[in-house]
Structure formats: C-alpha cells, structure tokens
Structure 1
C-alpha cells in the first residue's frame, strides 16, 4: 500500500490554492491515500482527483453516504439526524421524493420574478450606502451574495423571520470551522435552533410553504410521516445546502471575473454570455470543493488503487473540474468555454437538488449587479479562503463602484 500523503505539509497553500495541489496529485495518479489537514484529519482518507474516477465514484453504490456502514460517527448524524446528504437508498429515495417537486426547473423558473425583486431591493440598499457619492464601497458577500439565497430559501420553507445573523454564524461554523471542537459546538447550537424552529412551525397554522407541506405530507405507501427528528434534519439540509452553495457561487463568480478582466470586459460587452459565465465559474471555482464523505462498503478498485472496506472517501469535485484530460487548459477561466459535464453540483442520485435554483439566483444576481454597477471593481484583496475541503469560498469580497 502506498504511503499516505499528509496534505497539512502544504500549509496555507492548500487553503489558498488547492487547485495547484490537486494538479500535483493528479500528475501522480487519480486516487491517493491522504491525511487531510485539521480540522478534517480523521485518519487515512482516500482522495479522488481524476475526472473520470470522480464521476465513477459518485455513482458507485459501494461508496455509501451513511457513516453507519463503516462504523463511523460524525457530529452531523449524531446531533442533526440522517438527511439527504448522508443517507443511502431506500431512505434517501423516500426523503428526496418528498421535496423533488419543489425544485423542478419549471417551479424554480416561476420564482424568477421574486428572485429579481429581492435582488433589486438588495442592490438598492447597497447602491445608496457605504461611502461618498463619488466612491461607494461594500462587502458583496454581506450586501448581496448571502442575503439573496437565504431570503429565497427561507421564503420557500416558510420561515421568513429567521434570525439571519445568527444563522449565518452557525452555518459558517458547521461548514468551515477551524477546529473539530468549534464544529461540534456549532452543530449543537444549530440542532437546538432547528428543533425550536420546527416545533414553532408545527404549532402554527399550516401554510402553503415547503416546511408546512412536509409536516403534513404522508411519507410513503405505509402512511408514515416524517418524524420530528426527520423534519429537523430536512430543515437542516434545505437551509444549509439551500444557501451556502449559492452564496459562494455568486461571490466566486464575481471574484473570477475580477481576476480575469478580459473575461469581465467580454461579458459586459455581450450579456448573452452570462449563462456560459455561470457554468464556467462553477467549473473553475465551484462552491463545493469536495463532496461530503463516502464510505467503502467493500474492497473497491478505483483508478488502479484498491480502497479497503470501511475506508473514508472524499471525491474532489474541484479537482475533477480542473482535470486537463477532460477540460483543455483547465486553469484558464474562459466564459466562452463549453464546460458541459462539470461536476460542481455532483453527479448521480446525489446530484444537487437545488441546482436549478442556484443557477437562476446566480444569473439574476450577476446580471443585475453588472447592469447596475458598470464600473464595479475589487476594493482590495478578498478575505481569507474558508478552511476545510467542503466549501470553497471567501470570508468577504470588498467591492467599490
């Protein structure tokens, strides 16, 4: 067995520019036994960095999502409960069926006027604040990238009065804590918060929102309903996954355009390139660096490596989307590229449920931002990149206009 590669030896480079590290690993092979840096160091982990191997692993049922299959225990399942991101069929099938209809392309497209209205209101507030009449400044994350998706998903769920400041803090703690202790504390706080939210929703008059529908929906042919614990877990995955990915998609797309001014100029000159710009941003700097943990249920050969039963597997979505075997000149950001086949939203039965919603939110946000701020520019360097290998995003994105 090959010696494990300790990724902590790359230091801050692995956080700031993981793509260069993945390129070095990919040159050696598509699959590696590694140790992830803290706080994700849980022992040997098998990291998949090749495009074809990533797509294969994402659809291989021998790589299960439930930690129970490998006798692992994580804060998430212990404190939140089993949900879509950490469940396997048939449990996953049942849960996904309950919410799939709310995220079809047709239903999401019907939300476009609402998304546009929220975007316009946020830009109104941003453009009238933050500086002198000559030069104004803002943190784009706080002004637009965060409040837009959290407003939309809260409206869908029927919890418009959520404490967004507190929720953002807990959400960041769950997906990007600097230590395992801090991560657990965030899960404990968020679990209590969601339990109270669901209890309040169960006691209130049912509405026509998604959470009300889940409370009263019959789960399967045997007539069972979602338990309170299942409702809490569903609220968790819809709220966290329903906004974190889009927050960082919007911010990463703007940052990629800032750092590639020729592409920004091309988009400003021809806004019909907007769809391509969103897809290229997903490929080039997608909001999910690695898919959530998987666990080998039996010895499985992948990319010439035998992954033993019980092993932890991380599938590198960002690594796959910079594989030169699939995308020529992968480190070049090109909004005219045809990036079809990228895995920024995953692949297979765990393909991101909210992908249509994220795409529309990003398109409305980016299009409106560039239209209303024709001289938008970076106002110094962005904040530090988030720790860990789950979410790829920045702490802040200062802009001026």
Structure 2
C-alpha cells in the first residue's frame, strides 16, 4: 500500500512548533503510519520512517544507497561541490570501507583513550573561563570550543581557522539570509583546499598529514576523497558533539531530580551519557537514502530513486522499545539506541564523542555547585532545521 495520494496532499510537519519540539510530531506519524510520505521545508517529498524497528533495519539495508547517483527525485541534502561531496556519507561499499579504514585507527577506543588527558584539560580550561562571569552562553563558551579544540588538534587545523569553520557550518544549518548556505559552502571549500595545500607543503604529526600521505604516496584516496574526508571529520566532529553536550545539559536542567542523582552518584555518569544520546542527540535523521530498486517498508511501497529519511530521533523515542520514552531517566535499562546510527555507516567518531560528553559532565559537576537556566525554557531559540534539533544559544548562570 501507499501511505498517501498525490504530492499536494502530503503533510508538511516541519513548522515552527516542530523546530521547538519535534517529538509530538514523531508520535503522531508513528501512530498514523510509520512509513509516510511528507514534504520538507524546501518543498521536496520524502519517505519518513519513524519506527525503531524500521529505522534500525533500514540503516543496514543494502537496497538503500547513500549515493546520490541513485536519486531520481526528492531531497538530496546539501548541494556540495565534488571536492566536499565524496565523503563517507555519500559512498557505498567497497569505496566506503576503503576510505573508512584509512582513518579508523584514529577513532578506535584505544586511540581515543590516549586523548583523555587532553580532552579533560581542555574542559577544565573552559570551565575556568566560565567561573565568575554570571550569565554566559554555554554553547559559545564551552560546548562549541570543546570539540572544536579536540578535533582541530587531531586534524591539525590552525587555531585561527577553527571558529570561522564552525560558524560556516552553523550557517549551513541555520542561514540568516537567502544565499548564506552557498556562501558558507564556498568558504568551507576554499578553507579546506588551502589547508591541504599548506599541510602538503609542510607536513606535521597530525591526521590530515597522514591522510595526505595516503593520497600522495599510497594512492589510496582521490583528491576529492581527501578533501571530503577532512570536511566530514571536522564537520561531524564539531557540529553534533557541541549540540548533544548543550542539549544534554538542558535535559539535566529541566529534570533537576536527575541532576541531583548524578551529583550524588558518580557511577551514573556512563548511564547519563547514554541517556543524553538517546534523549537529546541533535541529529533527527540519518543521511538520506535512495532505494536502488522498488522496495516495501512495513507494507508501504517505496519507488526506486525516491528519498528515504530514517528518523533516528523518532526511533529513540519509540515506546515499542523504550518504556515511557519521553522521560529522561538516568536509571533507564538501555537497549542499543540509534544516536550514532547502525550498520556500515555507524558513526566513526562515537568513542570520541562519548568521551567528550563524559568529560563535559564530569567537569561541570566538579567545578560548579549549581547551574541554572538564565531564561525561561520556553524562551530558548531553536534552529529552524528539520535535520538538527539544536539550540542557537543556551544562557546559563553558574555558582562555583
């Protein structure tokens, strides 16, 4: 069966209320039809998959390709130049495995463990900067610079280029004027090309230099794959982590009884990290996929070449998997959430992201006896993006 009729009848659930709180929309879609054709803000039609069972299955379904070459209609994601588009989010096996192997060692739990001291030192320095300032924007002064410093050091990005890069990424998701997305992509493109040229001329002991060596000496990367991989590591390593940290703090502030539990029992820290990832991860959808042939998902016929969006955030609030899924509960008995995806495209940086979230929580608990929202929660501003549920600012007031 098909969920709905002609394109003009497709629901458009992505409005102002959705941007503030998308979860009631997901509840309605799961109850109505968990595989439903909807319209995105730019007018494209997509198949939105909302049940945990279907999302998990879809993430490892070889019939759903991430390669835009299989797209015939619908939403395709950001319009990126080829230099940035040949990344892991757009390629299928075996190219995906070849490219992924080149950098996977930098993100293994063992290698990430070697970064622990640097991550915690960075978090401590940022916490010192918050002390005594009264009301501060937590995102600008802590949640953003923490992953920006960690990934910037790992990849070898000059310090004076890190903030501009992060600001361009912000503008891609939440542009302030028409054309800003294109402008930001152009800035990122030129920034990375110049950075690669500089590192090629003067190699260093960093991940980017190692990637360039793999490109120039071993010929295991094309030039576009090199730049695209650098883009993805920087983009994903900063963008998602800064917002899951800030969304996670907001969840704790809105559930003070859970915050008290965490303060009283340090052994809950790992539970807190996983519940924050399930409950608060900003990524609403996995990267768009395109059926390589006509398929059926839970009885719904989806034509080849249409756009399928797998709803990660909806899956993580599915009552079929999580009792009282809208409750933020640090004592929750976890099943395997989908915040980092599943299957071949499981997030490469998951171990590092977990460490950064944990370091952020431990640092805040150790340094500040009280953290409160500086404005009412309903006055917080959210990005106008159906892909990323992220705050523009998080004003807080702290006591040491």
Q: TM-score, normalised by structure 2?
A: 0.93
Structure 1, residues 344-396: CA drift from partner, whole Å, max 9, x if none?
00000000000000000010111111221111111114641122222221011
Offset at residue 198 of structure 1 (A):
1.1
Instruction: Please point out which of 196, 199, 207 is paired with 1:198.
Output: 196
Q: How does 1:194-343 map to 2 (within 5 A)?
A: 194-204=192-202, 206-217=203-214, 223-343=218-338
Q: Structure 1: give runs of 5+ residues left out of the alignment.
A: 131-135
State the match for 1:15 in structure 2: 19
Quick one: distance in 2 between partners of 1:347 and 1:175? 24
Give how far 1:48 is off. Answer: 0.5
Deviates more, 1:176-185 or 1:390-399: 176-185
Q: Please give the secondary structure, in 1, of the residue aligned with 2:47.
A: strand
The 1:283–1:153 alpha-carbon spacing in structure 2 relative to 1, beyond 3 Å, is same
User: Alpha carbons of 1:7 and 1:118: their partners in 2 closer, same or farther (altered >3 Å)?
Assistant: farther
| Whole-angstrom CA distance in 2 between matches of 1:143 and 1:68 | 41
Maintained 8 Å contact 1:32/1:46: yes
Query: SS of 1:377's equivalent?
Result: strand
Structure 1 pair 98–282 and aligned structure 2 pair: CA distance change class (3 A) = same
CA shift in 2, pair 1:319/1:260, >3 Å: same
Give the aligned partner of residue 149 of structure 1: 147
User: 1:268 and 1:7, CA in 2 relative to 1: closer, same or farther beyond 3 A?
Assistant: farther
Distance 1:7 1:142 in 2: 36
Query: CA 1:163–1:218 in 2, change beyond 3 Å: closer, same or farther?
Result: closer
TM-score by length of 1: 0.92
Q: CA RMSD in A?
A: 1.9
Q: CA deviation at 1:292?
A: 1.3
The answer on whether the counterparts of 2:123 and 2:360 sit within 8 Å (CA) in structure 1 is yes
What aligned pairs does 1:1-400 form with structure 2 within 5 A after superposition?
A: 1=2, 2-3=4-5, 6-8=10-12, 11-38=15-42, 41=43, 43-71=44-72, 75-78=79-82, 80-128=84-132, 130=133, 136-177=134-175, 181-204=179-202, 206-217=203-214, 223-381=218-376, 383-400=380-397
Distance, in Å, in 2 between the alignment partners of 1:140 and 1:200 is 33
Task: Measure how far apart 1:119 and its partner are.
Answer: 0.8
TM-superposed CA distance for 1:77, in Å, is 5.0
Query: Deviations for 1:64-109, whole angstroms, at most 9, x for unmatched residues?
Result: 0111122567512546231011111111111101010110001101
* Aligned-partner Cα distance in 1 for 2:142–2:41: 31
How many residues are matched? Answer: 389
Change (3 A) 1:88 1:140: same
The runs of at least 4 consecutive aligned structure 1 residues that moved more than 6 Å come to none
How far apart, CA to CA, are the structure 2 residues paired with 1:122 and 1:7?
A: 44
Distance 1:146 1:6 in 2: 37
Q: Structure 2: how far apart are the matches of 1:164 and 1:233?
A: 17
> Alpha carbons of 1:179 and 1:307: their partners in 2 closer, same or farther (altered >3 Å)?
farther
User: Does the 8 A contact of 1:294 with 1:314 survive in 2?
Assistant: yes
